[in-house]
Amino acid sequence: MPKLHSDIRILATEHLQNAYAPYSGFRVSAVVVAKSGREYVGVNVENAAYPLSRCAEQVAVGAMVTGGDREIAMVLIHSTSSPPATPCGACRQVISEFATPDTPIICSNDAGEELRFTIGELLPAAFKLNE
């Protein structure tokens, strides 16, 4: 499990206020660290048409791909929830596309609580398109 640099925590905490969550009131931020070392942040972006809302992890993965990276080294998911919120099923699949089963997923909150998993633990047997 790689060391979680404090700047990643700060990044996630600082961006939590940018989450657009007027409907649920539940703010989430995510930092995707690519194998290149670059860091990509995402927050949840809700919509009046509720199903169009996007999770923080999916926004962060989109930013990573936009930035030219394709391999995830680690994901930090931050919220005010206690225990810390874990990624939803859809986000587990989205992360799996660019991760390996041992990729660390760290879930934290403002109280300093932390849960650590690998994506393989959170989503065993992820869907892969094998032709």
Closest approach of ligand THU to the CB of residue 131, in Å: 29
Binding site for ligand THU (CB under 6 A): 21, 24, 26, 28, 44, 46, 53, 55-57, 87-88, 91
Q: Which DSSP string corresponds to 66-122?
A: HTT---EEEEEEEES-SSPPPPPHHHHHHHHTT--TT-EEEEEETT--EEEEEHHHH
Closest approach of ligand THU to the CB of residue 93, in Å: 11
Give catalytic residues, as residue numbers. Answer: 57
> Which residues are bridge partners to 42 per DSSP?
30
Indicate the residue among 24 and 130 with the shorter CB distance to ligand THU: 24
Tell me the C-alpha to C-alpha distance, in Å, between residue 115 and each of 18, 45, 75: 23, 24, 12
Indicate the residue among 28 and 34 with the shorter CB distance to ligand THU: 28
Indicate the residue among 39 and 46 with the shorter CB distance to ligand THU: 46
Closest approach of ligand THU to the CB of residue 46, in Å: 5
Neighbours of 6 (CB within 10 A): 8
